[in-house]
Structure 1
């Protein structure tokens, strides 16, 4: 089983996510790291593990009440929080900006692994998590192991509620575009939603 890398920055990011995310959203963020690392290993994609882990753990912080901006799309608000986090963790501003960029890009058009491996891996992981894209990349035994350790806890319904809320308040956002493209139906059809708990 892939585990979160043991660095001061990843430990701090996990503490932040644990404090501010609901249990379902926290497990989603952890699973996003695990799925992404699993996918990268299977495809020999070299990536910065600590940077990716911090981005994965904080990528949905903009959906939480304390960090939900009334103007910015959630991924931009979360990206700015990640920049502040990175600098506070002692990272150079350029590294903190990479965490911001990865989080913003995870809601944009597909990024090739060669152009930005961390953003690509987060896109694959989160699109699998939310709407079931790339299902062939994650065989049943791996799914069962990850979900047993980090259960969904009603994640699909909670996440849909977050996106519908974002869409109502921020109609020009990527979340709103997802709602218009039937994210509700795609979440319901995600094979991960069929897993108990």
Structure 2
């Protein structure tokens, strides 16, 4: 189910150590939703690269790695670059993981241009605000949330983004909160109100 490489195992260890249980489950679900979407749409992607990026994409929201100046995705991308190099990846591969994490908070990326960034954008926007619900059928939602429970993720991520918005008003997180009605979109997310949550 998950890539069995030293870097993948290390990413899970890091995410488990520093993420809250809700944020950890979100990161694992993001990998699984993205993989499911990729398989359904015939999108070829680098499984290890996508897994590591998914597991660490919100590490910049954690207390240990929050940066007082950089947007969380940029701080997390830089940390993931260091992680990748320390795991023995070439610097270019580590840079790709950092890029994927930064791009997940930017405008949509096409699967042809960057499959891993596209998959992380699709998966995280589904997780956070319920975007593209038609891609993720109710039975898959039930199974996913039974394996990796919600644990109040919607409220937690909204609080994190609101905190980012207060401290970093020019960030993508701030735009999500202020211009894109994140609170309203989180509230009506089908995963937020799923019977399993």
1:58 has 2:65 as partner: no
Counterpart of 1:182? 181
The alpha-carbon deviation at position 24 of structure 1 amounts to 0.2
Query: After the TM superposition, which residues 8-157 of structure 1 pair with which residues of structure 2 at under 5 Å, given as runs?
Result: 8-157=6-155
* TM-score, structure 2 as length reference: 0.98
Distance in 2 between residues matched to 1:173 and 1:4, nearest whole Å: 32
Structure 1 residue ranges without an equivalent (≥5): none
Q: What is the CA deviation profile of residues 83-114 of structure 1, one whole-angstrom value per residue up to 9, with x for unaligned ones? A: 00000000000000000000000000000000
1:191 has 2:184 as partner: no
* TM-score, structure 1 as length reference: 0.98
List 4+ stretches of structure 1 deviating above 4 A: none
Q: Equivalent residue of 1:69, what SS?
A: coil
Distance in 1 between residues matched to 2:12 and 2:2, nearest whole Å: 9
Distance in 1 between residues matched to 2:5 and 2:36, nearest whole Å: 19
Q: Equivalent residue of 2:192, what SS?
A: helix
RMSD, matched Cα = 0.5
Q: What is the number of residues matched between the two proteins? A: 195
Distance in 2 between residues matched to 1:68 and 1:113, nearest whole Å: 29
The alpha-carbon deviation at position 23 of structure 1 amounts to 0.2
Distance in 1 between residues matched to 2:61 and 2:117, nearest whole Å: 19
